[in-house]
Chains A and B, each alone.
Chain A
């Protein structure tokens, strides 16, 4: 199994989780431990009837999966690939928590089927930057305290970084309008706006 082209077995699924865990341990912090029980080599992910072979390119890496055509991109990321940085807030395209990039454009992953994205370049929050090397938008969100609970944050950041390449006016009102698909129930809008304008140099 090559690094670039991995079949997602239970084992690599957990290995992936382990990698995320290691990144966390290096931080001044907060125990984020996952009490994952030991598993045996023989345990394979369940393959439902009607599952299709699907290859997705996510954060520059290919993943080969066997999933049903009805699996949304969001559930595929979270439940099949353990890329849980992308969040579910409504499953109906109404909150923006699940925003990711498909070929550089922002997309609500809950409204999109995974199987429809073979050959696309998918970027999630995990692929944007790391704790050691954050994207400027991630940095600005930290500096401006542009969240409270942090649950909408992945979506806000993915929307905000996509917006940098969109024809969006300079004014605060333009950004507010363009970001209105991403609800923050904690109401950190003022700080999110400041963070975005900071990165845009406005």
Chain B
């Protein structure tokens, strides 16, 4: 136990900290331009049907209104290529206003554009739309109706489950959840010539945004520039192009003026994706000692009428534990609801709610400690891909977590632990997230003004990318951080990866390191070759670059800026391109995954009917942690989101028309300061050289995985009530 290696805490302000605390960081809707007009969409008020007529006469008659656009006059907007890769990805492929059909409540049907935001809002309200309404398909049990598939199968799971000595068989439900980043989705479209547009977007994937928008607008890809300097977070909801971008760009083209379109909070629930509702049946069987024998995971997720998004709930079921006989099947149930999309930890997070709840229920059936049961079923091999894990320390996570949490104080008897009026419950869950790497290009330049410039067309969505890259180049060159500039978030920069799936840091860092090495080498080579150089004629090993100084073996020292001036060079640059492993996953020798253990303490006050999460201890095994403070912050923030998933969050759909009844931040309850538990996060320190040269596997999603089932386990421990449908509602507990 005392051999478990952990990362030492460290503290340092982020590279972009001064901008963030003074309001100077520029987010998408902060871009203002002369002659800029404002667009406000009009949304459908039926869940299914056809537009009968749009009467925009009174809106158009308002002074200062520049136009009302709909299917009749928006002009050509095309369907983009749709592929599973990250280059042409879009979840809602139908361009806005394509036809008169309505398939979900809130779908854009028109847009008003005006000189001011207030006028555009008033005009949008004045547009009268009439519909031929039909009865939408909504609610009901989710079955595997479409896109049916066996995700994974090994052995004979049905037979093994039938023969298992101890078993559980339950259905778990996760509700529709909404990302709700505080920054609303927005586009500022600015045509710089009749066929060239710059789009300021709230995007976690600027390159995909560019590719797709070029197609929708019918202009060459190189004529679209997408810029996202700072993102007010996205959690997956800002990965792929949404229809408002096309509306902003199309109206800006029509009017030959910059157009700003900021979606409102209601649209955040209906027009930019959500995590879909899922229903998952888990059948888990073991022998009487607790060794898992069979796992069957059948799930269905809700989808929209036309699109392909499936919540990949079984993603981790095949490898989290050692089980000989496993079957995972999937499908979607189509409803008249808006298009779902990836939300933080897509697939695994709802999937683990089901799987880890079932493990807890099995532990109770076995009369075993749930920590011990998980350790008993630990495995060194990924039985799904039949490869060894590159680095798996789930057992250490569970052991260290139990120690830090004080798990040994747990009295397993339901309702047996108290603190004042509160009944205390302890719960635990394991978590995991796959580590993958994407292609990344990056450039590093030493410039003659004595600065270093790093550029990469990727994003900082709050994860600390600006800081990570500045720190890495500081490490590589010894040059002071205040002389290092980082440029991100622009499609004119070398192509960087999306900010999603916990992949960005591990993908970009190797490219920047290599670009930096190249730039150094190019500088030194020039110094030994060029006539005007004081180091001319030296061999490669007789010259070195340290702390910004170039030193020759026979004496002589010069800072790189002076040297560049001597050499008549504006800069010494290096450009690197590092391949990811997504395309050739099968060829990898190892299975690279992150793991973790979540321990949760809840308090249930039956007198006040008050339930809260009191504290969370989280131990994460994510390889090397490149940037301690922002990494811990990611896990802490994910835990807070997990409290929301466990106790508060679900979108309420009106069964008559699909209207989201709580589409605002007061009624869709998200954790606030007062809901934040005490949080204790530890990172194990086992760098994973198979994941990438830096040994880092990413920390964006894993912190959310496992929190909800650990909360449910703790609620059961305190109250005896097993909640299988999230979130845990007070009503669920009132019978106790």
Q: A11: shortest Cβ distance to chain B, in Å?
A: 9
Interface string of A41-53 (1 = CB under 8 A from B): 0010010110000
Residues 183-202 of A contacting B (Cβ, < 8 Å): 183-193
Docked Cα-Cα span, A89 to B21, in Å, equals: 17
Interface string of A22-55 (1 = CB under 8 A from B): 0110011111101111010001001011000000
Checking B13, B27, B31, B485 against A31 with a beta-carbon cut-off of 8 angstroms, the contacting residue is: B485
Does A60 count as interface, using CB distance less than 8 angstroms?
Answer: no
Docked Cα-Cα span, A153 to B63, in Å, equals: 37
Q: Are B198 and A148 in contact (CB under 8 A)?
A: no
Does B115 count as interface, using CB distance less than 8 angstroms?
Answer: yes
- In the assembled complex, which residues on chain B have CB atoms less than 8 Å from the CB atom of A89? 182-184, 265, 665
Minimal Cβ-Cβ distance residue in B for A139: B21
Q: A119: shortest Cβ distance to chain B, in Å?
A: 23
Q: Are A151 and B118 in contact (CB under 8 A)?
A: no
Does B90 count as interface, using CB distance less than 8 angstroms?
Answer: no
Residues 210-235 of B contacting A (Cβ, < 8 Å): 229-233, 235
Interface string of A149-193 (1 = CB under 8 A from B): 111111001000000000000000101110111111111111111
Q: Are B11 and A143 in contact (CB under 8 A)?
A: yes
Docked Cα-Cα span, A149 to B641, in Å, equals: 15
Docked Cα-Cα span, A73 to B88, in Å, equals: 40
Docked Cα-Cα span, A89 to B296, in Å, equals: 42
Docked Cα-Cα span, A87 to B233, in Å, equals: 13
Contacts A28-B483, A71-B118, A145-B629; A90 near B636 (Cβ below 8 A): no
Contacts A30-B466, A92-B265; A147 near B22 (Cβ below 8 A): no
Q: Are A154 and B23 in contact (CB under 8 A)?
A: yes
Docked Cα-Cα span, A153 to B117, in Å, equals: 24
Q: Are B676 and A176 in contact (CB under 8 A)?
A: yes
Q: A124: shortest Cβ distance to chain B, in Å?
A: 7
Contacts A68-B118, A151-B233; A185 near B21 (Cβ below 8 A): no
Q: Mostly helix, strand, loop or mixed at chain A's interface?
A: loop
Checking B32, B63, B180, B637 against A148 with a beta-carbon cut-off of 8 angstroms, the contacting residue is: B637
Checking A78, A88, A94, A185 against B181 with a beta-carbon cut-off of 8 angstroms, the contacting residue is: A185
Does B710 count as interface, using CB distance less than 8 angstroms?
Answer: no
Docked Cα-Cα span, A53 to B229, in Å, equals: 35
Contacts A34-B26, A142-B14, A186-B637; A147 near B33 (Cβ below 8 A): no
Checking A30, A71, A94, A129 against B666 with a beta-carbon cut-off of 8 angstroms, the contacting residue is: A94
- In the assembled complex, which residues on chain B have CB atoms less than 8 Å from the CB atom of A83? 23
Q: Are A97 and B182 in contact (CB under 8 A)?
A: yes
Docked Cα-Cα span, A106 to B180, in Å, equals: 24
- In the assembled complex, which residues on chain B have CB atoms less than 8 Å from the CB atom of A79? 32, 38, 116-117
Q: Are B115 and A46 in contact (CB under 8 A)?
A: yes
Q: Are B64 and A48 in contact (CB under 8 A)?
A: yes
Docked Cα-Cα span, A130 to B184, in Å, equals: 26
Docked Cα-Cα span, A17 to B30, in Å, equals: 10
Docked Cα-Cα span, A37 to B637, in Å, equals: 39
Q: Are B190 and A148 in contact (CB under 8 A)?
A: no
Binds A, one of B96-104, B555-563, B576-584, B667-675: B667-675
Contacts A88-B262, A143-B13; A182 near B673 (Cβ below 8 A): yes
15 A/B residue pairs, CB under 8 Å, sorted by A: A28-B481, A29-B15, A31-B487, A32-B19, A32-B229, A37-B192, A43-B34, A79-B117, A82-B32, A86-B23, A125-B22, A134-B18, A148-B462, A184-B640, A189-B671
Q: A28-B15, A92-B666 are in contact. List 14 more A-B contacts (CB 8 A).
A: A20-B24, A24-B24, A30-B488, A32-B19, A89-B665, A94-B265, A131-B18, A150-B20, A157-B21, A177-B674, A184-B640, A188-B637, A189-B640, A189-B671
